[in-house]
Every structure is written in structure tokens, then in C-alpha cells.
Amino acid sequence: MDYPLLRQIQSPEDLKQLAPEQLPSLCGEIRQLFLHTLSETGGHLASNLGAVELTVAIHRVFRSPEDAIIFDVGHQCYTHKLLTGRREQFSTLRKENGLSGFMRPEESIHDPIVTGHSSNSISAALGIAQGKRLSGQPGYAVAVVGDGAMTGGMIYEALNNAGRSKENLVVILNDNKMSISKNMGALARYLTVIRTRPSYYKFKKAVERMVRRLPLVGNSLYNSLRNSKFLLKNAIYHSNIFESFGFHYLGPVDGHDLNRLIPVLERAREEERPVLIHVSTVKGKGYHFAEKDPGAYHGVPAFDIETGSYAAGGPTFSDLFGQLLCERAQKDMRVCAITAAMTSGTGLSEFSRRFPERFFDVGIAEEHAVTFGAGLAQSGMRPVFAVYSSFLQRGYDQIIHDVAIQGLPLILAVDRAGIVGEDGETHQGLFDSAFLSAIPGITVYAPASFSDLRLAFDKAMAADSHPTVIRYPKGREPELPADYQTVDAPFVLYGDRQAECVLVTYGRLFSQACKARALLAEKGIPLAVLKLNRIKPLPAELPTELSGCGRVFFFEEGMQNGGVGEHLGAMLLEAGYTGQYVNIGIPDEFVRQSTVASALHKYKLDAASMAEIISKGE
């Protein structure tokens, strides 16, 4: 496809050379490129379609990289990538060695910080703004925040801190879903138009200077007029939380109307204090299917542009967990489900419809979700918090302080455990095994199959005096041997108990281990596979079970440092094991974006690599 305007833009400076009347056509080209590219690569569609005009306006007014522009989460930064010299690489989006789906400083000088998790942009922007002032650097810091991120507590910590400062900080609230303020009436909209005209701003400044210069009464009169203005504005706008924090509030403004949006941004540049601009946009703008159902088109695989359809695939671990939870809730009125703005992703959509009074979406607030669940458990309920592994990291202190110390029976359903693929470093679920293993009194199950998940769920529900974690991978059930059966035991050994060589693993890697066993059998190399069903606490019988083995190989889809493999190695050493112990896991680095299969092979966690390592005796 041809993109005549977009092809002219290699940097934000090129954007400034376009005539104002060309900008709507540019926005149309950007949306066409999104549809063409994401229909092949997948990615975050609806949020980026909704932020096209807003991003064009930001780069039209501000000067990146002198002005640091931060997109919270990064789900809405694709237009930013196109306007900052990455158009020719855009087809590599979310592919191995390609463009990230989020902001990444190593990718471009126009990306000030890494984004991937929500609600951190204002904190970072304030730090950048103050750093600029302290070091004598020019420029503004601009944080673009979606309304979903406004449910995260870190946002309000930053607003509270930033509002007291006098930094060149602009926060743009991209409101594409909920009504943050009640001031959407005709009068409020009219005042927004008037207050953002350059003539109004110049007149206002001139009056302020004149009043201040009046002998004796100047400052007092200015303060009186200023207070009266606030009283009138609050009466019209029904007060405003952002101005209570100390921000100068502008808005609401139509985020798709460049003629209104650009003057508001220009006005914000003229202020010498923190400003918050409230922008209203339509998620999925310009693509009928995404506008109609933005949730379904938030993050999509490859899809058909004409029909909007994409392959859903078979049932996933998330789907099964949601089903199990509904089955239990039907029988037990104490069962509650908690999510942190991930109802669909964690398989809780059906639960939310069937049991609305026992379903709690707390927003992007994992810390609150854990402690809220602790409160439910303390009151005799059976709460289950379903959360992505990478997002659970935010609730670590609460797991220790509010749950584990008190021995409360909160169930953590840790979804997306292990390598997740194309979303890259910020979303890999590789840390939970290590950080959960350090917490006393917690039990962690790692099912390898759907039947394992069902058993682990039953055991978690039966535990009423301590927290329980069930961690499972993204996607469908892996391929397993035809004779595979779930066994109710902390671990199961497949193969000869007297085998010289034993491969130990858990979770999804059990499928790879079985394939490695078959590959080695073809070479005449016998191998037993020990599958851990429970990884915390590790079964005390393991050293005895492995004492007769000359070689033990542990493979783990998690961090090697502090991981389950290290804990098993310590157990064997303490028990006096004298054989060879090899621990293979993710080394001391962050796993980049790629397919899951590619990452497993890179880190020697696929069947072929397992077989090669064992056959060589490494």
C-alpha cells in the first residue's frame, strides 16, 4: 500500500512541515498501516487506533526528544513509533529482533523509558522534568495516560508529588472508556474552547501583570481575583480532583479534533507548572469491529481485515480455570473471584456474568487486590485472585505481609507463568517461582496438563489455613504421552526408578521432557522423568528418591537464580548426594520478544536441547 504523507516523515520535525489541512489525511494513512501490519503480526489494535490524532498533535506541538514523551503501558505508542523514524521497521513489530510493542530506550532516542506495566508514567515524567531542571536541560516531560491506568495507585502517589512541584510537566489523560469528570456539559465545553484560544491566554496574562503592578493593593487584589475565579470554576466544573492535587486542568477536549486539540496542547506549553489535559477518544477509532468491541480487539493475533475475524484456537489453561471456578462457585457461596482489570485474559468473563455479586474487578491495582483478597479470606470467604505472573510482581509485599504471615487461605491463580512470547521482557512470567519460593507457609502447584490443573484447584480449595498458588502457562494444553495420567502426589517418576539418569522438571516443560525421553530412547539412552506437581514446599522425599541416580538434570522455565532448581540442588547437597547435578534455567538476563518455541530453544529448554545436553553429559 502507498502512504504518500507518512513516507515523508522520518522524524517529528518532518511532521511539523506538513500543512494543517494535511494532518487528517496523515491520520488516515496511519490507521491503514496499523490494520495492514497488525492483521499479519498481531498486536495492540484498538488502543492505538484511538490515539492517532492525539499522538500527531503531541508531536506537532512538542519537540521530541528534547521534550520527553512517555506513553503509559505503551499499548498506545504505535503512532509515536511511526512518527519517530521507525516506519520502515514497523512490519517487524513484536517479532524476534524486531520493534517492541512497547517503548524501549535502546530502540530510539524518542523512547525515554521502558513501558509495559501500567501507571508508572507520571512518576517517571516527574523525575525526568526535575532532572532536566537540576541539570540545566531544556524541555518538557509529557505523560500520556489511559483512563485504565488511572485505577492504579501509583498514579495518585505521583499526582500528589507532582502537583506540589513547579516543573514543566504535562499529563494527558486519554479518556476512552469511563467518565473521569462530570463536566461534559455544553458550558464546560464552551469554556474549554475559550480558555485555550491564544488571544484569551495573552489577555489573561496581561491582566495579571497589570493587577500585580498596582501600588499597595496589587498582590492582594490578584489573590482575591484568583480565589474568586477558582470558586466560579469549581461551581461550573463541579470541582476537580486534578486541581485539588495542584495541576492546572484543561479539558475535556475531543481527542480526534486536531483543530481543538492542538491549541490546548500549545496552551499547556505556555504554563510553567504541572498541567493535566483531559482528552476524550474512541478506542478502536476508524475500524468498525474494534469500535464495536474494543475489548476483543485490544490485543489481537493475526486477523482478517474485511471480516474482523481471527482464529481463537482451542481451550486454554485460562479457560479451564474459569470453568473450574464457576463450577465451585455454583456449589459454594463463599467462592469469590478477583481480577485486576484482566477479566477476559484470566478466563473470568463467565464468572463475572453468572456471579456478579462475588466478582470483583479492582482495576489495575494488584497490591490492593491481594490485600482485598486477604480481607475476604479473613471474613470467611474463599477468594481467588487470577493474575498474570508478571503483574503479580507488584503485589509481592502484600503476599508476604497481608496474606502469608497471617496464614490466610487466599488462592493466587498465576496465569501466563513462564515464557509468554511476543510481548517481551515486561510480560515474561519467569520470576514467580523464585520469589514465591522464598515465602514461608505458602504452597505452589505447577500443573502440566488440564487434569493436573483440576487436581491442583481441588487441593487449593481444600487448604483453609495457608495461601495457595496455582501457576500455569499461557495458551493450550501441551502435547503429552498417550498413556499420561494425573497422579495425586507431590511428584511422579516416569520410567525406571533405578535409572542412571533422571530429568526433573515441572509445568509446561514436562511435555518437552517426555519428548526428550523419546529422542534419547531412539539412541539407546535410558532416561527417567520426575515431574514435580508441587514446587513449594519441595517434597522432603526427593533426596531419597534421587539418591541412587548418578546424574540428575533439572530444567526450569523460570529464573535460575533463586529458582526451584537451586532449591533442589541445596536439598541434594545437604542430603549428601554425590552424583552429577545440572541445573538449566533462565540465566541472569531478561528474555526478549520472540515466539515461545524460539525462546525455549534459545535457552535450551526444548526437547532437542534437553536430549543433546543429557546425551553429552553436560
Q: Which positions are annotated as active-site residues?
A: 283, 366, 394
Give the sign of the dihedral formed by CA 270, CA 273, CA 279, CA 285: positive
Nearest Cα to Cα of residue 93 among 299, 269, 284:
299
Nearest Cα to Cα of residue 503 among 612, 416, 601:
612
Q: Which residue has the cell 521507525?
A: 86
Three-state secondary-structure class, residue 357: helix
Are the CB atoms for 339 and 361 separated by under 8 Å? Answer: yes
Nearest Cα to Cα of residue 432 among 402, 467, 472, 393:
393
Are the CB atoms for 49 and 31 separated by under 8 Å? Answer: yes
- Strands, E, within 281-397: which ranges? 299-300, 335-339, 359-361, 382-388
Q: What CA dihedral angle connects 554, 560, 562 and 564, to 10 degrees?
A: -30
Cα–Cα distance list, 451 to 154, 321, 413, 478 (Å): 39, 11, 16, 12
Distance (Å, whole) CA 379 – CA 390: 28
Number of H helices, E strands in the chain: 25, 19
Distance (Å, whole) CA 301 – CA 603: 25
Three-state secondary-structure class, residue 147: helix
Three-state secondary-structure class, residue 78: helix
Are the CB atoms for 283 and 290 separated by under 8 Å? Answer: yes
Three-state secondary-structure class, residue 386: strand
State the CB neighbour count (10 A cutoff) for residue 537.
Answer: 14
Q: Which residue has the cell 492542538?
A: 262
Nearest Cα to Cα of residue 79 among 64, 95, 96:
64
Distance (Å, whole) CA 324 – CA 301: 26
Q: What radius of gyration do the chain's Cα atoms show?
A: 28
Are the CB atoms for 409 and 466 separated by under 8 Å? Answer: yes
Are the CB atoms for 400 and 467 separated by under 8 Å? Answer: no
Q: Which three cell numbers stand for residue 145?
A: 495516560
Under 8 Å CB-to-CB from 287, ≥6 apart: which residues?
31, 35, 45, 46, 49, 297, 308
Q: Which helix (H) or strand (E) holds 217?
A: none
Q: Is the peptide bond before 356 cis (omega within 30 degrees of 0)?
A: no
Q: Which helix (H) or strand (E) holds 70?
A: strand 68-71
